[in-house]
Amino acid sequence: MSTEKLLTPGPVCLHPAARKALAAPQIHHRSQPAEKVLASLRENARLAAATTGETVVITGSGTAAMTALATGLFAPGDRVWVPVAGKFSERWAEIARSAGLEPLITDYEWGQAADPADVPEGVQGALLTHSETSTGVLQPLKELAAAVRARNPRALVVADAVTSFLLSELRMDDWQVDALAIGSQKGLMSPPGLGLALLGPRALSALRPAGYYLNLDRELTAQKRGQTAYTPAINLVAAAAAVLEEIMTAGLSAHLSRKQEFNERFYQIGLSAGLKPVPQEAASRSPATAAFFLPEEAPANAFSGPMLARGWRIAGGQGPLKGKIFRISAMGYLNDAELEKAYTDFEEVLRGL
């Protein structure tokens, strides 16, 4: 259908283990092989996020997981801090409002990292964005969570880890992060359509039944028994479980180092060509994607066009950064030769402009 390869910050090129799982015949979700992949995905996700809590698998996107967390962990009227510094932190604010919560928003320039000093008192929770995919900024999640808890001992810290899971270090329990939302089409190198909600011990205590389809409490009860409340996207569960199993078996920390190094190479190539990164500080570059401002007066497709001509799809900007930036990501699966080719093509395209 399409021969282009994705260097977009999700969806990404599929891991071979995902492709193998997707090529298998349909399995029934009430069968032993299905229970096995569900259990494997739940257990390995919990280990990868370093929590003693639970994983809830959601048939829906990462946004479905975010919505389920906002409605399942808070009650209408609850005040939640939302530092807004890009499209996905804006989404948290929208989700909070839609759930009847009262978001206390601190606005940052897109490209800036949220500042722990800005955490207010008097909130029941915080909705954070670990890796803000729209700007390529990795937020200081550990420091933000510590500040939230220091000023609001009973508050729940919930983070969008959609593009940090399996890409950047995540230590839920150590960092006092109570819940995470994850999507299948990023670090899991699987097709989109599956969300994960990670719940730490305090989130498990706070969880209450809310809504019908996106009801984490009901799902968790079913999933602890090896089932799901409703028919799950079991093919996507099998794909994500297979990829995660491989990553965990090979070693998560080596995987994270490699992903960071891959991303840093894109940054080095862009910096050498004189491009300005979107993240304001080098320390806040998310390993999920490199993000650069386009040169002054360059058209939006200045790089995406030539890259596509070479068979690579990269991404543009979103919201106020539309037409002003581009994003290139090594989050997906590329073999060594493909990866080298991606770097070479990127370098040549930048030189060509």
Nearer to its own copies, 179 or 234 (CB): 234
Minimal distance, residue 352 CB to its own copies, in Å: 23
Nearer to its own copies, 186 or 285 (CB): 186
Q: Is the peptide bond before 11 cis (omega within 30 degrees of 0)?
A: yes
Minimal distance, residue 342 CB to its own copies, in Å: 15
Minimal distance, residue 33 CB to its own copies, in Å: 5
Short-list 66, 72, 64, CA closest to 208: 72
How many other C-beta atoms can be found within 10 angstroms of the C-beta atom of residue 220?
20
Minimal distance, residue 91 CB to its own copies, in Å: 9
Provide the residue type at 197 as one letter: A
Nearer to its own copies, 69 or 199 (CB): 69
Minimal distance, residue 207 CB to its own copies, in Å: 17
Short-list 303, 298, 236, CA closest to 269: 303
Distance from C-alpha of 182 to C-alpha of 250, rounded to nearest angstrom:
21
Minimal distance, residue 238 CB to its own copies, in Å: 7
Q: Is the peptide bond before 33 cis (omega within 30 degrees of 0)?
A: no
Nearer to its own copies, 251 or 305 (CB): 305
- Residue 177 dihedral angles phi and psi, to the nearest 5°: -95, 125
Structure tokens at 336: 């060594």
Distance from C-alpha of 148 to C-alpha of 118, rounded to nearest angstrom:
10
Structure tokens at 78: 């609850």
DSSP E strands, the chain: 5-6, 54-59, 79-84, 102-107, 125-129, 131-132, 137-138, 156-160, 179-183, 194-199, 290-293, 312-313, 315-316, 325-328
Nearer to its own copies, 280 or 301 (CB): 301
Short-list 175, 179, 164, CA closest to 216: 179
Minimal distance, residue 181 CB to its own copies, in Å: 11
Distance from C-alpha of 303 to C-alpha of 271, rounded to nearest angstrom:
15
Short-list 31, 49, 351, 87, CA closest to 196: 49
What residues make contact with its own copies under the rule CB under 8 A? 1-6, 8, 10-14, 19, 21-29, 31, 33, 59-64, 67, 94-95, 98-99, 183, 185, 191-194, 211-214, 230-236, 238, 313, 332
Nearer to its own copies, 123 or 236 (CB): 236
Nearer to its own copies, 191 or 279 (CB): 191
Which run of H or of E encompasses 33?
helix 32-48
Minimal distance, residue 282 CB to its own copies, in Å: 28
Give the number of residues written for the chain.
353
Structure tokens at 252: 């998560």
Nearer to its own copies, 157 or 315 (CB): 315
